[in-house]
Amino acid sequence: MLKFPKDFQLGASFSAMQTEGKGTTKIGKLTMDTYFEEHRELFYQQVGPELTSDIMNHYVDDIAKFKEIGLDSIRTGFSWARLFPDGVNVNLEAVSYYHKFIQEFKKNNIKLYMTMFHFDMPMWAHELGAWASREVIDKFVSYCEFVFQEFGDEVDYYVTFNEPLVTVFEGYTGVMHYPAINDPKQAVQQGYGIFLAHAKVVKAFRKFKLQAPIGVVYNWNFTHPYSQSEADVKAARIYDAYVNRGPLNIMVSGTIDPVLVETLKEFNVLPKYSKQELEVIKETKVDFLGINYYFPCRVQATPNKQARWVLETMKIAIPPTAKINPHRGWEIYPEGLYEIAMAIKTELNNIPWYIAENGMGVENEAQYRGADGIINDTYRIDYLNDHLTQVKKGLDEGSNCFGYHLWTALDCWSFRNTYKNRYGLIEVNLADQSRKLKQSAYWYQSLINNKAK
């Protein structure tokens, strides 16, 4: 079995919206609530975001299970809409809940990463223009400042955004997130607003002089050209500037890729910005980086004279020989984690980083239940072992990687997929909200126990 250093964190992730549901305190309406109300038929088995995994009623027992497995750390987050349901007035019941929630992790000696925004846009903020609105950005900064002041060093690690551009691509050029429109110009403006919000929050954080570090969690689906043709190599370079290294560098160190600027100008989709805002963005420096990795992006050029922006001149293609997760249609390529480790070492000054999400979603897991009632998810164990082997290889070659969080600690609700594909170490029974460890949880427990003493 793999052996990691004693201080290497082996843990798991989930999010507020995907586990809290409506919860036990007042919460403002989210864009995902509106999406479900308007298009229930688009959600798998019409399961909405109201209940999810009901963690607010189960967190004491859930954290006890995390302790039983031996998890070193957990990443979840605060809900902006729960703490500030109307965007103005603080919800003191929610403040009290989060203090108790955080203290339960401390009692169990589990480090806690808390994310400020994980796809959970309040509806009032969307109606004001979402990240294109400077008013929304200012309100987000105020919410974050409240959290930093109120919770301070009770939290071990702060995270500004999880997968910041997913809501942009899936909401403004795709259909998985609200408002599910296809408008590249709006997408660019929303993306710019997120970069500005992130930079302002990091800057505000420094005023509080906390022991806790602050970082961002980015989904780096490592870019490769589909072939070595000149067109594919060029397309991959541009795609990287928009989807992978480009935004990552903006959020880690305020560095803006000229390819991004040139191609935005070429298609006349530059966002509205000011010189002062750009200066704030360029000053950004985070303390650590979280990387979510599920699959690589192999980019193929696709000439398109009607393209509205440069990303419409390329597509993601999967090689016919690739190993695939049939439940998601995603390529399984563990070597991507080693490639990321080496890129961070050589391109990002070996910044402290960790794998914030990595995991395998499988449909109808009940079919793998054994006579003992436990789901025998050997496919997940194999997936995790293969990816962690690549992490260890990177560590051995000098990568400054300090941990690994699998997605997810317990089965949780997942947007339009709801509970179709499950990722958890812990099974959640939606009928009665009971929990049960899967076989992978016992394997992970052994991995943790096998760390160097």
pLDDT tens-digit readout, 369-383 = 999 999 999 999 999
Instruction: Look at the block and give the residue holding tokens 């070597």.
Output: 335
**Position 84 pLDDT exceeds 90:** yes
Q: Report pLDDT digits (tens) over 336-380.
A: 999 999 999 999 999 999 999 999 999 999 999 999 999 999 999
What are the tokens at 373?
Answer: 């009632």
Contacting residues for 342 by C-beta, under 8 A, at least 6 apart: 394, 397, 399
**Position 221 pLDDT exceeds 90:** yes
**Position 21 pLDDT exceeds 90:** yes
Instruction: Look at the block and give the residue holding tokens 């955004």.
Output: 161
pLDDT bucket at 51, cuts 50 / 70 / 90:
confident
Instruction: Check residue 167 and give its pLDDT.
Output: 95
Told to judge if 277 belongs to the known catalytic residues of this protein, a careful annotator would answer no
Can you give the C-alpha Rg of the chain in angstroms? 21
- CATH architecture observed for domain 9-450: Alpha-Beta Barrel (3.20)
Told to judge if 20 belongs to the known catalytic residues of this protein, a careful annotator would answer no
**% pLDDT > 70, the chain:** 100
Q: Report pLDDT digits (tens) over 176-201.
A: 999 999 999 999 999 999 999 999 99
**Position 453 pLDDT exceeds 90:** no
Instruction: Check residue 33 and give its pLDDT.
Output: 97
pLDDT bucket at 391, cuts 50 / 70 / 90:
very high
Instruction: Check residue 445 and give its pLDDT.
Output: 98
Nearest by Cα to 75 from 116, 43, 37: 116
Question: Exactly one of 163, 331, 365, 427 is catalytic; which is it?
Answer: 163
**Position 31 pLDDT exceeds 90:** yes
Question: Exactly one of 20, 104, 331, 357 is catalytic; which is it?
Answer: 357
Integer CA distances (angstroms), 61 to 55, 65, 113, 142, in order: 9, 6, 19, 33
Nearest-angstrom CA–CA distance, 426 and 436: 6
**Position 131 pLDDT exceeds 90:** yes
Integer CA distances (angstroms), 159 to 100, 101, 440, 443, in order: 20, 17, 27, 28
Contact 6, 399 (CB under 8 A): no
Contact 154, 103 (CB under 8 A): yes
